[in-house]
Amino acid sequence: MATSFEQIMGRVRTAILGFTQDQEQYSSLAQSMLSTDTSFTIDTGTDQNVFRGTLEIEDELILINSIDRTTGIVQVMAGLNGRGRDNTVAAAHNSGVLITMAPKFPRQRLKDAINDTILAMYPQLVVFGSTEITKLAPVYEYPLPAAVDDVWYVVGQLVGPTKIWQPLPNWRYNPMADTQATTDFPSGKSIQIFDFVTPGRQMKVVYSTTPTPLVNNSDDYATTTGFPERTVDIVVFGAISRLLPTYEAARLQQHSIEATERSPLVPAGSAAKAAQYYMALYQQRLDAERARMMEEIPNFATFQGS
């Protein structure tokens, strides 16, 4: 079953808001708005949920100066300077989209945590690619694609009807191939293969490369990142562990009386402990998935030359 970027964000958001039992305030746009608008109209039936401060429309954070409770017209603070705050992008929004007032975890922060986790899973988990090279009699070094991060294994096609590709263990990956004096290695990456292969036969290089971050809400996790679908839970655990500690930072802003009243209900350090729990789940699943990866695609060919 395919999992989209939006669905992963939903799983992360449900977990972290469920832990804190926070109930955010919502409204919706009554009319569409442009990326250059400095005012917009919201649903007057839920206008009481909107007040001066920061609100979120889709992925954009906007600073609010005032709201007319009769018309539902909201004025943006500081004009265009109030649009696209905190590294979000001012964008057009359609009528009817959801508005979240003072979001505890803005969507952009969720996206950042998810993509940071995806990138951090490498190199314990790798994305595999492959390229085929035709053996040339006098040539021992061949160019590799720019996407290659490391070579996993090399096999060569045997002559005859056996259809067997034999391991070629004597190779050296060169990530610093000369790109100045020759056009032989345009990517700056090459492989030197010292095993005998009949000229004209194919050699297959299986290599590891970095995962691709998710961008669009509809992006399919497995198709975009290159990781198996079954690793979605690893990303969810990792993103949660990255986000939860921010609740501890928020406690530092509380007055002493409020902190005293709150501590029996939510002891100091509880969010950090929950983050550690999710980090343990993340690491456990990551280790298990790496062991499975090594079984499914063993790295059986390594350089054995001098």
Contacts (Cβ under 8 Å, ≥6 apart) of 10: none
Residue 251 has pLDDT above 60, yes or no: no
Same domain, 30 and 171: no
Tell me the average pLDDT across 226-236. Answer: 97
What burial class does residue 159 get, using C-beta atoms within 10 Å of its C-beta: 0-12 exposed, 13-18 middle, 19+ buried?
Answer: exposed
Same domain, 15 and 109: yes
Same domain, 109 and 4: yes
Same domain, 170 and 37: no
Tell me the average pLDDT across 200-220. Answer: 97
Same domain, 109 and 248: yes
Based on the structure, what is the number of domains in the chain?
3
CATH number, position 57? 2.40.10
Final residue of a domain: which of 170, 192, 209?
A: 209
What burial class does residue 94 get, using C-beta atoms within 10 Å of its C-beta: 0-12 exposed, 13-18 middle, 19+ buried?
Answer: exposed
- 305 inside domain: no
Final residue of a domain: which of 209, 237, 269?
A: 209
Same domain, 265 and 186: no
Same domain, 139 and 202: yes
Same domain, 31 and 63: yes
Which amino acid is residue 45, in one-letter code? G
- 201 inside domain: yes
The band of 303, judged by pLDDT with boundaries at 50, 70 and 90, is very low
Mutual orientation of helices 5-20 and 107-120 as an angle, nearest 10°? 110
The band of 179, judged by pLDDT with boundaries at 50, 70 and 90, is confident
- 259 inside domain: yes
Q: How many CB atoms lie within 10 A of CB 256?
A: 7
Separation CA 169–CA 195 (nearest Å)? 7
Percent of the chain with pLDDT over 70: 89
Same domain, 96 and 153: no
Same domain, 88 and 116: no
pLDDT tens for residues 269-297? 788 899 999 999 999 999 999 999 998 88
Residue of 206, 68, 191 whose CA lies nearest to 140: 191
Residue 236 has pLDDT above 80, yes or no: yes
Task: Determine the straight-line distance between the first and last CA of the chain, rounded to whole angstroms.
Answer: 47
Mutual orientation of helices 232-243 and 5-20 as an angle, nearest 10°? 40
Residue 260 has pLDDT above 60, yes or no: no
pLDDT tens for residues 56-109? 999 999 999 999 999 999 999 999 999 999 999 999 999 999 999 999 899 999
Tell me the residue range of the domain where 64 lies. 23-103
Same domain, 218 and 295: yes
Same domain, 148 and 172: yes
Residue 257 has pLDDT above 50, yes or no: no
Contacts (Cβ under 8 Å, ≥6 apart) of 52: 64, 65, 66, 67, 77
Chain-wide mean pLDDT for the chain?
Answer: 90
Final residue of a domain: which of 185, 209, 233?
A: 209
What's the pLDDT score for residue 247? Answer: 77
- 170 inside domain: yes
- 306 inside domain: no
- 146 inside domain: yes
- 3 inside domain: yes
Which DSSP state fits 49? G
Whether 235 contacts 122, CB under 8 Å? no
